[in-house]
Structure 1
């Protein structure tokens, strides 16, 4: 259980890496439609508040465990638990996290593969002149085609595992240094283009003028859940990244930077998407089909719509690519802790995820009538239970370990915020974040 020798080369590299891990489908696909379904600006304010009170403190807890242990997630948890005189069974939390991201990546690579097909189709003008029912029928036909679905799933997973196999400095860091600035550039370009549309001002009013009468208990629950999910916490993935963190870097400063950048992506994506939706007089509460059905319809009649829609799906592809690398890293780090070389570990992870992903692909065609729990297909099962139950459970245990179990001096040193900063962080985690995670977990179970 030797300490890892790999490190991010700079503070900037670490921030870009963690931001790349956090930014993904949750920001560009889930945030717009969940904001649309929950009343706009009032939901947005709650979401930002819960990022501060829930997501950010737990993210810091997860990173500091990795930074203190300087090993893979299982090894860090076991090492720190022994130092604290606590049970060595805490190490199994690392394995639970690896299983969670294994389940999530198996469907994430399938959904992310959709963006490849949609990007090619958009740039080639495949959506131009088509009506909503035609685009919806085309999407259904795509889902029911196992060959096209498998091709995109395979291509996306190969893109992911090649980067992970290359290691921290040659793989993850180089890709993040290239793609994250490009992602923000694309977002700014899309938001700038949105500013020329008739729906830009109505979109801003809808996003930033809260109607507190729209608040319900479920809006609070959804805001809590999204604030937790959007920062990629709960699966020990950021624990693996924390093990590579530079020695002389403020963890709170880096975490706040990541949270700000993550929220900025969601806001810019929301502005770009809702400007198009309001320009075309559509309903912002379109649900999960907002990106893959509503947007192609909305862009179809706009000048240069094929180019701008293609650019949007390129943005979605880049965001999901960096995020999927984050999902794969803790699994590879765990296998490395068991003695496998990184490339071998990446190959094993990639093959296993690919095989399980095939079951997700077939859930829309050959296995569409096979139900595992209630009316859930295999895809429905792995796209629901791991994100809504396993992630908050993992986040809860991570927060408890960091704030109550691990040696105080190790946590103080790893947080690097001074005694007062440490006491504030620990108090927030113990008495605010942990109860909020329990609410998120219970809502996922019911």
Structure 2
């Protein structure tokens, strides 16, 4: 099915860093620690890890395989494996595009906040106190301006294409992100109060376990690994035929999960360091205060207690967050851009402005109706659309796509795959076990 002129990642490492860049983002560093802090720490961590490897990984393999087989945008790739169900295939592709655009619309807002907290301290040191206060306050005008700046950065990378844009920038930014991350964790764990946060994060208290926690953990796993909204399908379409998809998907999942785990090692101990320094984290009833803006209240408070070093560490942290956000946002914008440029036969550099502009308009609408729309858009896209679309893709890959075609596609990267344990388990697992497990997770809160 592959077209000879299809753009490709130039190396396997380039793909892994780009796919991990897509997966490693605010979902890991903003979303995961916030969810963990709200849901009992270690219990959420364990449930999340189970969801990643029991549900998200098998579906990641399915999405990458569909993408590489179709070697096109999600609509055409899904049609290529389900030629008799074109309406279903195109509907899932369009829903994935809408889902990923919805995620990017709130993502750009949050990424803009991080951008403000990156620039604010620098302006403060230079004596521009009022500008710094404006950038670090949660005002409507400030939110719109910062969101637009972040969207422009994303558009700039995506308009350059796969090798010169996505791969080049992901390969540069991801190593920097990891170095910053590990350095900050080491520093935070040496502060007073950090061990209390570490205990909450690593020692499970099963009284926090609930059906709702399972749904949150599943949504977080799908959001974190970019499952269900065609991102990985698009990246799969740029993957070389000699790549071993199950192995590559496992490396992406491990890298992504490792970053989420390390993010928890940073944020949860930092919460208790801040609490030790007088910052309120939990209400009297034990509920987490300001969940969505947790890292913006907790971490700057911790950095303030560090004197001169705190300024440098604070700038480094928010630089890390902007890098993580950008490597994810470029993968999200790539989904509708690749679809529109191929289906409408339009130039990528024109399409990226139209689609980026439309998403920025919707982001502005969310900002203007923040109280009613922000949480709603997050919930609809990450807790419901992603898992439901992931489930539909599992059913398409398991029940509609011919098994000999799947084996042939996967064997191109691993000729011995037919006799492997993976092939003995995965086809039936995606076909039967994944849909049943996902249905149970969804229905449990309803039936409890």
Q: Does 1:391 align with 2:386?
A: yes
Count of matched residue positions in the alignment of Structure 1 and Structure 2 = 422
Structure-2 residue corresponding to 1:431: 432
Does the aligned pair in 2 maintain the 1:41–1:210 contact within 8 Å?
A: yes
Distance 1:332 1:221, change over 3 A: same
What SS does structure 2 have at the residue aligned with 1:210?
A: coil
Sort the Cα spacing of 1:219 and 1:358 in 2 relative to 1 into closer, same or farther, 3 A. Answer: closer
Contact 2:120–2:135 under 8 Å retained in 1: no
Task: Give 1:381 deviation, angstroms.
Answer: 3.8
Q: CA separation in 2, counterparts of 1:111 and 1:273?
A: 17
The 5 Å alignment of 1:73-84 reads 73-82=74-83
**Secondary structure at 1:326 match in 2:** helix
141 and 113 in structure 1: CA distance in 2 versus 1, 3 angstrom threshold: closer
Residue in structure 1 matched with residue 216 of structure 2 by the alignment: 222
Does residue 367 of structure 2 align to residue 361 of structure 1?
A: yes
1:219–1:140 CA distance, 2 compared to 1 (3 A): farther
**3-state SS of the aligned residue for 1:291?**
helix
> What is the CA-CA distance between 1:103 and the residue it aligns to?
1.8
Q: CA deviation at 1:216?
A: 2.5
Superposition RMSD in Å? 2.5
Equivalent runs, 1:134-213 vs 2, <5 Å? 142-146=137-141, 148-213=142-207
1:291 matched to which residue of 2? 295
User: Quick check: 2:59–2:227 contact (8 Å CA) kept in 1?
Assistant: yes
Between 1 and 2, higher relative CO (CA 8 Å, sep ≥ 6) is seen in 1
Corresponding residue of 1:341: 347
Deviation per residue, 1:304-340 (Å, 9 max, x gap): 2222222211111111111111111110110122111
User: Hey, what's the Cα distance between the residues in 2 that align with 1:266 and 1:297?
Assistant: 22
User: 1:409 is matched with which residue?
Assistant: 404
* Matched ranges for 1:7-26 at <5 A: 7-26=8-27
Aligned match of 1:119: 118
Render the CA deviation track for 1:353-374: whole Å, top value 9, x for unaligned. Answer: 122222122224xxx6xxxxxx
Q: Whole-Å Cα distance in 2 between the matches of residues 24 and 141 of structure 1?
A: 21
Shift of 1:189: 1.3
Do the aligned residues in 1 keep the contact of 2:29 with 2:263 (CA within 8 Å)? yes
Report the TM-score when normalising by structure 1.
0.88
Mark the CA change 1:53 to 1:424 in structure 2 (over 3 Å): closer, same or farther. Answer: same
Match of 2:129 in 1: none
Residues 141, 264 of structure 1: CA spacing in aligned structure 2 closer, same or farther, 3 A cutoff? Answer: closer
Give the distance between the partners of 2:45 and 2:147, measured in 1 at CA: 32
**Shift, 1:180, TM fit:** 0.7
The yes-or-no answer on 1:258 pairing with 2:252 is yes
The answer (yes or no) to whether the contact 1:224–1:436 under 8 Å persists in 2 is no
| CA deviation vs aligned residue, 1:259-290 (integer Å, no higher than 9, x gap) | 11111111222112222222233647443231
How many Å apart are 1:87 and its aligned residue? 4.4
Aligned to 1:104: 103
1:312 corresponding residue in structure 2: 317
Aligned pair in 2 of structure 1 residues 386, 35: CA closer, same or farther (>3 Å)?
same
Structure 2, unaligned runs of 5 or more? 126-132, 283-287
> How far did residue 218 of structure 1 move?
2.5
Pairing partner for 2:336 from 323, 327, 331: 331
Are residues 123 and 261 of structure 1, via their aligned partners in 2, closer, same or farther at CA, if it must alter by over 3 Å?
Answer: farther
Instruction: Measure the CA separation in 2 of the matches of 1:166 and 1:443.
Output: 45
Structure 1 regions of 5+ residues with no counterpart? 127-137, 369-375
Q: What is the rounded CA distance, in whole Å, between the counterparts of 2:445 and 2:164 in structure 1?
A: 38
CA distance in structure 1 between the partners assigned to 2:443 and 2:119 by the alignment: 41
Scaled by the length of structure 2, what TM-score is found? 0.87
C-alpha change, 1:9 and 1:172, in structure 2 (3 Å) is same
